[in-house]
Amino acid sequence: MPVLPSLQRSSFNKDLRNRHLIYDYAAQDADRNQEKWRYEMWLYNEDRINYPIHRGPMAGRVAFQSATYQCIRPGELWQCNWLETGTICSLVFDIAQKRTTTLIAFCNGDWEQNKAAHGDRRNQEDLARMRALGKIGTQVDRILLSEQAEILEDFHGPGNLKQIEMDLPTL
């Protein structure tokens, strides 16, 4: 995917390129008990994100995706959007407040069969299973989650994540 014109003169390189975040959502389980969902995201470049999920219903999923970015306020607020094999994700990164605000529109397959959604999309069997889950239900059969997270770590580089091979398919 080419660099979007909206990023060519933006503060993307300074604000986001190669930035790595580890953050916890203050969420609730099915019985409304408080729990932390830990996510990690490496904002690799203007086209890709790389993220494993460590805690919560999707814990055990390791993924990378094509992404689009939109600067809301240079040096302060950015939006990152991606489609994950049927689930729509939108994350706003508040640099100054060290928080994320996220809307996730889970497809039926990912939400109702979340254990089957686990795996590493670099593995062809896992990827095929993830893609099949994304085809379950219709566009209106979505579970919408709006959550905020506290950023625990903010650094540059891959950390412990594997590099993204840009020729691998993302959907």
CATH of the domain at 9: 2.40.128.20
Question: What is the per-residue pLDDT for 2?
Answer: 47
Q: Is residue 134 part of a domain?
A: yes
Q: Is residue 30 part of a domain?
A: yes
The pair phi, psi for residue 4, each rounded to 5°, is: -70, 140
Question: What is the per-residue pLDDT for 8?
Answer: 76
Question: What is the per-residue pLDDT for 22?
Answer: 98
Q: Is residue 28 part of a domain?
A: yes
Residue 1 has pLDDT above 70, yes or no: no
Tens digit of pLDDT for each residue in 47-90? 999 999 999 888 999 999 999 999 999 999 999 999 988 889 99
Total number of domains in the chain: 1
CB distance 151 to 99 below 8 Å: yes
Closest CA to 60 of 122, 107, 114: 114
Q: In whole angstroms, what is the distance from residue 127 CA to residue 36 CA?
A: 26
- Could you list the residue range(s) of the whole structural domain that residue 150 is in? 5-156
Tens digit of pLDDT for each residue in 3-27? 455 677 789 999 999 999 999 998 8
Q: Is residue 33 part of a domain?
A: yes
Q: Is residue 113 part of a domain?
A: yes
Question: What is the per-residue pLDDT for 125?
Answer: 92
Tens digit of pLDDT for each residue in 91-150? 999 999 999 999 998 888 888 888 888 888 888 898 888 888 888 887 787 888 899 999
| Beta bridge partners of residue 121, listed in sequence order | none
Q: Is residue 166 part of a domain?
A: no
Q: Is residue 161 part of a domain?
A: no
